[in-house]
Structure 1
């Protein structure tokens, strides 16, 4: 019997995890599902505030929240502290939410789709008799690494804290994918050894008993983009690329994407309309990356040195002590600086020439889907692996080199912008990738077929 499923979606409480799961939720809504989207209380308030209304009622998705266990004064960028608090607080709160939805509102949840980094939610679902599915918001290659952690520990490559046990520089996960460098193991790029240890153990716990709580592993990627990785984990189904969804209800204003922690500055779209095609350097570093003042100064002066128009996202965090100042000599006449961008719309604009990016997976997919070339500036976690993939495998971007002071200098920024935009070979490659990715989400594409398989399972 075909029925209307009610799917509870729970992302890890970070912008880069909320975005693809919100997009996935909208796809489910488009196919007749009811969606309950569960943020942490802290992030729920940010999302509602950015939507310019009091309760998120303009969204076709029911927005709810549960506490993450931390007070308002805590630093949620500290992933170790956040994850310890999540694991001790949220499972019981999620169970109570599911119970309250049914008792107080008559809403019976039929499936839980959980971010792999919230994998404990499927253990809660199994406990209360609800089926579930994992959702992996990053690359399939990084998932293969995460999935093989027990093997890496058993083989003596990692210890139980996730640290390398020897001087080995590379290791093999499978004969079907190239060797991986120890330096690109994502949890080794979390800056603080204590954070690394805590978060590694948290993710291992999220995957505990995973094969017994679901048969569904959904991934925001495509076969064509990562064929070797998908061949290693046949049960991992690509349903990407997932793009941010916009609220088109109000046609009198430019639409805003849903699920954002900051309000988007839509004035940049009018500014882009005034620029020549393939002329603008777009610069954005996601929701977490921070700079010191010296590097911020070099970036500002480097953008000016390119003598090209630039659109630069300088995130405004009211509670963040990491406040940067533009140098006195910075004129900025050719550029526009905004606090947060409607990135999918920006990257689809014909004025964009290249993307200076932190290499978060969402940003990579959004850029690739629009045929954009990359200048890679990774900050932490899987972004270093993603940079190598962009530069060495897909060959649609370049990385920056550090100077003797450990900085990316203004001269290096100008040189790499000129090199990338002067390379005639990257444009055909980026356009070919764009066509492949768009085909995947078309009616007959592999990602669409996988989504339909999941929907059939949900409804019967």
Structure 2
């Protein structure tokens, strides 16, 4: 702790959902280590995710606890959730006005754009925390800025209509069906306009923090700085716990659905880089047809694999599958200690939905990425991994009706275990760059700069 940071009080406000909360908690941990006092806005449903950190920093991390606001009716559940969060505006103002030493700034998730107005009302700074990468966030901003015009250009609703984002480096192109939430936009609809206003407010905030690093997304960080017109854009990732820390193998994000001892004993019996880890994150699931195709591909292949599925989806695993694959396969029905699995020497490739947390965890672990994007920013993340960085292969993309051919998928799974694949070489290099960025490189520099500017507020 330094004299300059010990009196700096920060309000941290994550958006509900483990994919948003976990990386912001990782950032909170780093800021606590630098001596800041932090109050974190938390709803009762997310208490279990927050408690391990609170117990580690009982005097400097405080909870501002609220019951979960009733979800507002809206064109899409996510938008309803965002709109509902605005009900906390006045309760937070009341808390702030009665606090003996209120925060100098608020760090809030990019879905909480309305907190920019909250910060202005309180006379403090607002910093956006983006749980998406800089490419995904660049596309998201451009999409919502121009959503009316984009929708008008595709007035017949052609699912394969191509949208080119010409101002963004490398001119990413996405098809209409890949553009998250924009299909629900109707000009003048109060909920949609409120959501859009929040997205636009992000670019007017005092600063933006990205969970990424320059070697991976430097060109997009530069682009965001040009868009906002200042250099208070910090790339401080990958935000991951220390390799030897207790949270890696135990409670990061939840309790493991299987005994970690059994899992790692199974991995110990496998040779280096021989295991394919398959997981589709905390929100996305496979349809019965997709699960059937994946299971057939795994049976046809020769690879060792860990298949992680939600407990509710385990009924889609074909009858007799586990017996037929024998010791080649390990099934997790529920939450898995993903970071510890990816960092294990036996794991060489990762079939992933390309959520940003999973993307960073896979890259940081140096495993080859096999992309199966399903929604949100995942199509952009797959483009980055496969087309630009060359660290992955596409195995499938799209919603429940996109079903890969089992024979072709089996071949890709087998090929992924080859040590000669160029993607393996490139991802190992990118992994080393990620480690350097955090230890003594650009991410460490940006985090130090951010902390210093906070202490001067």
If the length of structure 1 is used for normalisation, what is the TM-score?
A: 0.82
Is residue 424 of structure 1 aligned with residue 421 of structure 2?
A: yes
Could you tell me whether the CA contact under 8 Å between 1:23 and 1:245 is conserved in 2?
no
Q: Per-residue deviation at 1:118?
A: 1.0
Give the 5 Å matches for 1:417-456: 417-422=413-418, 423-443=420-440, 445-456=441-452
C-alpha distance in 2, partners of 1:194/1:29?
40
Structure 2 counterpart SS, 1:22: helix
Partners of 1:311 and 1:196 lie apart in 2 by 43
RMSD (CA atoms): 3.6
**SS class of match (1:400):** strand
Distance 1:297-1:149 versus aligned 2 partners, 3 A rule: closer
Q: Which of the numbers 34, 41, 45 marks the counterpart of 1:42?
A: 45
> Which SS does the other structure have where 2:369 is aligned?
strand
2:28 maps to 25
Superposed displacement of residue 354, structure 1? 0.5
Q: How far apart, in 2, do the equivalents of 1:307 and 1:37 lie?
A: 47
Q: Deviations over 1:221-265 (max 9, x none)?
A: 122212321222223321111114699579xxx85344x255464
> Is 1:387 aligned with 2:382?
yes
CA distance in 1, matches of 2:161, 2:172: 11
Contact map agreement 2:249 2:339 (CA 8 A) in 1: no
For the 8 Å contact 1:273–1:351, the answer to whether it is kept is yes
Task: Name 1:169's counterpart in structure 2.
Answer: 162
How far the C-alpha of 1:116 sits from its partner, in A, is 1.1
The 5 Å alignment of 1:113-192 reads 113-149=107-143, 152=146, 156-159=149-152, 169-174=162-167, 177-183=169-175, 188-189=179-180
Residues in 1 aligned to 2:9 and 2:24: alpha-carbon distance in whole angstroms: 15
User: Aligned ranges for residues 199-238 of structure 1 at < 5 Å?
Assistant: 201-210=193-202, 212=204, 214-234=205-225, 235=231, 236-238=233-235
SS at match of 1:441: helix
Q: Distance between the aligned counterparts of 2:294 and 2:112, measured in 1?
A: 36
Q: Corresponding residue for 1:297?
A: 292
CA, structure 1 residues 124+150, in 2 after alignment: closer, same or farther (shift >3 Å)?
A: same
Aligned equivalent of 1:327, options 318, 324, 328: 318
Q: Do the aligned residues in 1 keep the contact of 2:110 with 2:130 (CA within 8 Å)? A: yes
Distance of aligned partners of 1:107 and 1:262 in 2 relative to their CA distance in 1, 3 Å threshold: farther
For residues 323-358 of structure 1, give each alpha carbon's deviation from its aligned partner in whole angstroms, at most 9, with x where no partner exists.
633212312422211221222221111010100100
Deviation at 1:177, TM superposition (A): 1.2
Deviation at 1:288, TM superposition (A): 0.8
Question: By how many angstroms is 1:160 displaced?
Answer: 11
C-alpha spacing 1:388/1:458, structure 2 compared with 1 (3 Å): same
- Other structure's SS at 2:439 match: coil
CA 437–341 in structure 1, closer or farther in 2 if over 3 Å, else same? same
- Gap runs ≥5 in structure 1: none
More helix by share: 2
Find out whether 1:80 has 2:76 as its counterpart: yes
Structure-2 change in CA distance of 1:140 and 1:86 (3 Å): closer
Q: 1:36 to 1:365 in 2, by over 3 A?
A: same
Gap change, CA 1:58 and 1:159, over 3 Å in 2: farther
Tell me: CA distance 1:160–1:450, structure 2 relative to 1, closer, same or farther (3 Å).
farther
Q: How many residue pairs align between the two structures? A: 434
Shift of 1:157: 3.5
Instruction: Report deviation, 1:437.
Output: 1.4
Q: In structure 2, what is the Cα distance between the partners aligned to 1:185 and 1:8?
A: 37
Partner of 1:243: 240
- Whether the 8 Å contact between 1:245 and 1:257 is mirrored in structure 2 is no
**1:286 shift after superposition:** 0.3
Long gaps (5+) in structure 2: 226-230
2:406 maps to what in 1?
A: 410
Q: Tell whether the 8 Å contact from 1:284 to 1:314 is kept in structure 2 after alignment.
A: yes
Moved more, 359-368 or 240-249: 240-249
**For the Cα contact (< 8 Å) 1:185–1:381, is it kept in 2?**
no
User: How does the TM-score come out when normalised to structure 2?
Assistant: 0.83
In structure 2, the CA distance between the partners of 1:222 and 1:249, relative to structure 1 (3 Å rule), is closer
The more displaced of 56-65 and 326-335 is 56-65
C-alpha displacement of 1:401: 5.0
The equivalent residue for 2:303 is 308
The equivalent of 2:228 in structure 1 is: none
Measure, in 1, the Cα distance between the counterparts of 2:116 and 2:27: 18
Residues 142 and 270 (structure 1), Cα distance of their counterparts in 2 relative to 1, 3 Å cut: same
Match of 2:272 in 1: 277
Find the aligned partners of 2:256 and 2:281 in 1 and give their Cα distance. 14
